[in-house]
Amino acid sequence: MQKRFLSTPIPSAASALSLDSPSSGSSPPPSSSFTVQYLVNSCGLPLKFALKVSRNFHLHENNLQSFQSVFRCFQSHNIPSIRITKLIKRRPQILNYNVEDNLKPKLLLLVQNGIVGHHMFKVFVSNPVILSADLDSQIKPCFQFLKSVLGSDRNVVEAIIRSSNLLTCDLKGCLQPNIDFLIKEGVPFDGVAGFLIRDAITVQHKHNSMVNAVDDLKNLGFDPKAPVFLEAVRVRIHMSESIWREKIEVMKSLGWSEEEIFSAFKLDPNFLKSPVEKIRVATDFFVNTLNLGRQILSENPEFFTLKIDKSCRMRYDVFKLLESEKLIEGDVKIEEVIKMRDKEFLVKYVKKYVDKIPGLWEIFNGRKQQQSLPRSNRGNIG
C-alpha cells in the first residue's frame, strides 16, 4: 500500500497531546504515538483528528500487515483510497477488524445482493455500524426480511442505499411488527413496500408509537387504504402529543374549527408538519395580505408548506404590479397564481413582461441583491 507523507514533520504524540491537554499529567503510551503516525501518514487523516482519536483508540505496530489488509480488502471492491480514508475517519476501529472473518463475508454479501462500488461505500460511510454487526444474527435476517417485503433485488438495493440502517435496525422489535401491523390495518401491500423504500426511518419507529399513530388517524376518519394515509402516519409519528396539541390549539386560536383543521390535514398531512411560527406567519399572510378565507385555505393546505417570503410574497408583488399596469387578463385569482409551478409562473408572469415593466425582475429576484439583468438578456431568463 502506498503511503502518504506530510511535507512538514509530525510532532510526537506525547508533545502534541501535552499541548492539547495540559492537565493530562501523563505521556501517552507508545501505541498512541504509532496510532497518530499511522492515521496521518498511511491513512491521510488530519493530525488534529488523529491526536484526538488516539486518546481512546490504539493501533499496535505489530499489526501493521492487518491494517494494510483492511485497505486491500476495500480496494478489491473498487473503493478508492480517498473513500477508504473517509470511512476510516468515520470509524477508525475498522482498522482493527478481522478481514477474513468479519469484513470479507460482509462485503461479499453486499456484492451478492447488488450493492457494489460507490453504493457499497455509501452504505458503509452512512452506517459504519454494519461492519461491526453480526452477519448471521443481524445482517442476513434483515436482508431476508427486506426481500420478502420488497420482492426484487433492485428494490432491496434502493431501500438500503436510501437508508442503510435497515441492516442494523431492530428487526424483531420494530421493523417487522410495524410492517405486519400496517398490512393488518388494511394498508395495501404495495403501498407498505413503497413506504419502506421511501421512508424507512418512519417504519423503524417503536411499535407502540406506530400503533398509537395509526389509531389516532383512524379516529380522525382516515382510511388506511387511501394513498394519503401513510403520509399522515409519517407526519403524526414524528410529532409528540404535546406538539400535536399545540398546533391544533394555535390553529383554533387563528379562527379554525377542528373540523376545518382535520379536513385540511386529510388533504395534505404536511400542512401540520410546519412549525408553529410558520403556521402563524402563513395564516397572517394569506388572510390579511391575500384576503383568502379559511375555506380556501382548508381546501389548499399545501399553501402552508410553501416558502412565504421567498415565493408567495414575491408572486403576490409581481401579480399586483402587473395588475396595476392592467396586464392581468381575465378573472385570475391570486390563489391560482400561488399554486402555479415555478416554470409556469416564470413564463406567464415574468418572461412575458420583464422587458416592458421596470422593476419586475427586481421583484421576481426577491429584491435582495437589487440587481437586474441587461435588457438584452432578460428575455432569455430561465
The whole-number pLDDT of residue 14 equals 40
The whole-number pLDDT of residue 223 equals 96
CB half-sphere exposure, 132, CA atoms < 13 A? 10
Cβ partners under 8 Å of residue 199, min gap 6: 230, 234
Q: How far apart are CA 103 and CA 306, in angstroms?
A: 46
Q: How far apart are CA 243 and CA 54, in angstroms?
A: 42
Q: How far apart are CA 246 and CA 234, in angstroms?
A: 18
Q: How far apart are CA 28 and CA 15, in angstroms?
A: 9
The whole-number pLDDT of residue 141 equals 97
The whole-number pLDDT of residue 31 equals 59
Q: How far apart are CA 160 and CA 124, in angstroms?
A: 11
Contact 269, 296 (CB under 8 A): no
The whole-number pLDDT of residue 44 equals 86
Q: How far apart are CA 19 and CA 320, in angstroms?
A: 64
Q: How far apart are CA 89 and CA 267, in angstroms?
A: 45
Contact 133, 167 (CB under 8 A): yes
Q: Describe the crossing of helices 64-75 and 104-112 by its angle, rounded to 10 degrees.
A: 10
The whole-number pLDDT of residue 379 equals 42
- What are the distances in angstroms from CA 205 to CA 173, 213, 234, 299, 341? 10, 11, 10, 31, 34
Contact 124, 111 (CB under 8 A): no
* Boundaries of every domain in the chain: 308-378
Cβ partners under 8 Å of residue 235, min gap 6: 269, 270, 272, 273
Note down pLDDT in tens along the chain; length 382 residues.
444 433 334 344 443 333 344 344 445 555 578 888 888 888 888 889 888 888 888 888 888 888 889 989 999 999 888 999 999 999 999 999 999 999 999 999 999 999 999 999 999 999 999 999 999 999 999 999 999 999 999 999 999 999 999 999 999 999 999 999 999 999 999 999 999 999 999 999 999 999 999 999 999 999 999 999 999 999 999 999 999 999 999 999 999 999 999 999 999 999 999 999 999 999 999 999 999 998 999 999 999 999 998 899 999 999 999 999 999 888 899 999 999 999 999 999 999 988 888 888 888 886 434 333 444 444 444 4
The whole-number pLDDT of residue 344 equals 94
Quick one: CA dihedral 166, 164, 93, 114, positive or negative? positive
Q: How far apart are CA 91 and CA 127, in angstroms?
A: 10
Of the candidates 324, 357, 325, 319, the one whose C-alpha atom is nearest the C-alpha of residue 339 is 319
Q: How far apart are CA 32 and CA 52, in angstroms?
A: 10
Of the candidates 32, 87, 24, the one whose C-alpha atom is nearest the C-alpha of residue 61 is 32
Report yes or no on whether pTM surpasses 0.85.
no
Three-class SS state of 207: helix
N-terminal to C-terminal alpha carbon distance within the chain: 49
Contact 39, 50 (CB under 8 A): yes
Contact 128, 119 (CB under 8 A): no
